[in-house]
Amino acid sequence: MSRSLIDGDVYDSFRAAGEIARKVRSEVVYRVREGASALEIATWVEERIRELGGGVAFPCNVGVDAVAAHSTPYPDSDYALRRGSLVKVDLGVEIDGLVADTAVTVALPGADEAMVLAAERALEEALRAIRAGVRVSAVGEVISRAVTSYGYRPIANLSGHQIERYNLHAGLSIPNVPAGEGRLEAGKVYAVEPFLTTRRGAGQVKHIDRVEIFRVSEDSLVRSRRLGPQHEAVVRRLLESTRGLPYALRWFPDVDREIHAVLYRRGIVKGYPVLVEASGEPVAQAEHTVVVWEDGCETLT
């Protein structure tokens, strides 16, 4: 590796965020049990990140079975994990706006544990193939081939992503199938996240009419002014607190829900609809954040 390819402070922050993310991920798996509350798991993850000195980069995602991504419990959720479920916990740690994104899948008793293994192996193989100059489509091919060799199907329309300061989905996407344009660059940071489903699955996710994770930007603030001072105040509060990173409404009990709903309907607040496997089959995921070097990559998480 050559540290001159990345700003030293940026690298240090990414590494520190990665260390916290790794620790929280390794601890949370013991909390993912039959009967455990999804809300308690998400809240615990977020509190633990802060306790260890990180910022919460996005609401902790708890995706059960066919729910693949973008699901975080509502504040009044009483959902308890059930036997036979495949549970994905996806968490992000932020230090100085630099984010380490990582995920783990836990197979509760009765679920197909081999799916978890296949996701982890596909991730390992992808990371072994990564170095500067590699095409994202080649990484997708490695993932796809590994997943298929275990008897599963990759999710074609979910992908890993480049990460920049306060920008979780910057630039390049890293697909789970041989597709997409662009090459990985040295000194850049990417989240690599194979998602797979069963052979009966569609191998695609679709979004459903439920939004649990939102985002505001500088543009939201400008546009909110037209709706009046109350709307502007809500966006300002959200933007100051999140700096453009995703949030859940449960973090902001003081924010007026009706005003927020209006902002969302007008497209001023962006939402990430919950993504589910299109034919309702279970989904497993594994994810690490890496920094790419000339001769390989370094796993931060």
Catalytic (active site) residue 218: no
Catalytic (active site) residue 256: no
Determine contact, residues 254/230, Cβ cutoff 8 Å. Answer: no
CA distance 40 to 43: 5
The interface with Co ion within residues 277-296 (CB under 5 A) comprises: 287
The interface with Co ion within residues 162-221 (CB under 5 A) comprises: none
Question: To the nearest whole angstrom, how small is the minimum distance from the Cβ of residue 275 to Co ion?
Answer: 12
Question: To the nearest whole angstrom, how small is the minimum distance from the Cβ of residue 195 to Co ion?
Answer: 10
Nearer to Co ion, 102 or 224 (CB): 102
Phi, psi of 260 (to 5 degrees): -60, -40
Determine contact, residues 181/274, Cβ cutoff 8 Å. Answer: no
Catalytic (active site) residue 219: no
Question: To the nearest whole angstrom, how small is the minimum distance from the Cβ of residue 90 to Co ion?
Answer: 4
Beta pairing class for 153-154 and 159-164:
unpaired
Catalytic (active site) residue 9: no
CA distance 93 to 49: 7
Specify the residue for token string 């275990």.
150
Q: Does 65 bind Co ion (CB under 5 A)?
A: no
CA distance 61 to 68: 9
Instruction: Pull the structure tokens for residue 40.
Output: 């308690």
- Catalytic residue (choose from 90, 94, 125, 277): 90
Nearer to Co ion, 93 or 103 (CB): 103
The interface with Co ion within residues 92-151 (CB under 5 A) comprises: 101, 103
Residue in 76, 19, 29 with CA at minimum distance from that of residue 286: 29
Q: Which of 19, 90, 120, 125 binds Co ion (CB under 5 A)?
A: 90
Catalytic (active site) residue 169: yes
Residues identified as active-site: 90, 101, 161, 169, 193, 287
List interacting residues with Co ion (CB under 5 A): 90, 101, 103, 287
